[in-house]
Amino acid sequence: MAKTAKCAHPACECQVESGGRFGKYCSDHCRQAGEAIVLRCECQHPACR
């Protein structure tokens, strides 16, 4: 089973598998947002809707 961790974007609640497509982020949206502080994540995954 792959190891998972919370997405590195502070507002995101998604879990990310190690070695995933976007590194420590769940999506390109979160990777581009980086560690910016926002009130709500807009990655559109079920955990953040």
Per-residue pLDDT at 1? 65
| b/e map 5-42, b = 16+ CB within 10 Å | eebbbebbebebeeebeeeebbbebbbebeeeeeeebe
| Tens of pLDDT, residues 1-49 | 679 999 999 999 999 999 999 999 999 999 999 989 899 999 999 999 9
